[in-house]
Amino acid sequence: MMRPIATTRSATGIPTGRLAVWWVIASEIVIFGGLLGGYLLHRFGHPEWATAAAHTNTMAGGFNTFVLLTSSLSAVLAHAAAEKGEGPKAAKYLGLTMLGGLVFLIVKSFEWTYEISHGYTITANTFWSFYYTAAGLHGFHVIAGMVIMGFVAADAMKNRELQRVELIGIYWHFVDLVWIFLFPLLYIAK
C-alpha cells in the first residue's frame, strides 16, 4: 500500500509518527490516571489496606523496576543507533528491550502465582482487586509494546522504517513511567 502524501507533511514540525505517539501517550495518561486515581482515593480513605498491602513482594517489585529501567536504557540506545542509521544494531537493542519485557512478565507471573496460591486473589479484597487490575492493565501494555516492538525490530533489521524505533521507544518509556509510579503505590506504601 502506498503511503499517502499526507503522511509526509509536517506543518507542526514534528514528524507525523511521533506526533501520533504523543497523542497516544496523552490518552494513555488519562486511562492509567483514572485507574490509579481511583486506587489512590480508596487507599487514602482506607488506611487498613496497609494490612493487605504488606503482602506484596517488594523484592520482586524492586527487581522488576530494575528490569524495566534497564529495558528503557536499551530502548533509548536503540534510538541512538537508529538515528545513526544503524538498523541491525537498533534491532539488537530492541530485542534486548523485549527480553526485558519478557523477564518482567515472567517475574510477575511467579509473583502472582505465589500470591494467588496463598489466597491473595483478585476478589480477596478491594486492595488486591486494584493490585491485579492496575498491574494487569500495565502488563497488557507491556505485552502490546513487545509485539509492536517485534515488528519494528524486524523492519529495523533490514534498515527500514528506522524512525519507528524512536516511536516505539517513547511508548516503552511511558510504560516504564507507569511502573515507576505503580511500584511505590503497590509495593512500598505499606
Partner 1 sequence: MSSHAEGSHDASHHHDDSHSPAHYVKIWAVLLVLLGVSLAGPEIGIRWVTLITAFGIAVVKAFLVIKHFMHLTVERKVAQYAIGACFMLMLLFFFAVAPDVMKHWGVNWHNEAASNMKREIERSEHHAPAADQAHAPADGAGHPEASAPAAATH
Partner 2 sequence: MAESPSHAHDGHAHAGHGAHDGHGGHHEESWFVHYFWSTDHKMIAKQYLVTGMLMGVIGAYFAYVFRMQLAFPGKPVPGYGLVTGADYNALVTNHGAIMIFWVAMPVLIAAFGNYLIPLMIGCDDMVFPRINRLSYQIFAISAVLVVASFFVQGGAFGGAWTAYPPLSAKAEYSLTPAGSSLWLIAVALEFVAFLLGGINFVTTAMNSRAPGMKAFDIPIAVWMIVIASILFMASVGPLIAGALMLLFDQMIGTGFFDPDRGGDPILWQHLFWFFGHPEVYVVLLPAMGFVAEIITTFSRKKMFAYKTVLATTFATGLLSFFVWAHHQFIAGIDPRMANVFSVTTVLISVPIAEMCFVYIATLYGGSITFSVPMLWALAFIAEFLLGGVTGIYLGSSGADIYFHDTYFVVAHFHYTFFPIAIIGSFAGMTYWYPKMFGTFMNEAWNKLHFWVTIIGFNGIFLPLFITGASGDHRRIFDYTNFPELDTPELQSLRVLATVSLLVMLVIQPVFLINFFYSMFRGKKAGANPWKANTLEWQAASPPPHGNFPTLPEVYRGPYEFSVPGRDEDYWPQNSPN
Residue span 89-118 as binding mask against partner 1, x where in contact by CB under 8 A, dash where not: ----x--x---------------------x
Looking at the Cβ atoms of 1 and 95, the one nearer to partner 1 is 95
Q: What angle do CA 96, 101, 104 make, to 5 degrees?
A: 125
Point out which span in 1-9, 132-140, 142-150, 177-185 binds partner 1 (CB under 8 A). Answer: 177-185
CB of 177 to partner 2, least distance (A): 15
Question: Which of partner 2, partner 1, none sits in contact with 95, Cβ below 5 to 8 A by type?
Answer: none
**C-alpha distances in angstroms, 3 versus 147, 151, 183?**
22, 18, 41
Query: Under the criterion CB under 8 A, does residue 84 sit at the interface with partner 1?
Result: yes
CA 19/CA 48 separation, integer angstroms: 43
Helix (H), strand (E) at residue 50 = helix 49-53
* Contacts of 114 by beta carbon, 8 Å cutoff, 6+ apart: 57
CB of 73 to partner 2, least distance (A): 28
Query: Under the criterion CB under 8 A, does residue 44 sit at the interface with partner 2?
Result: no
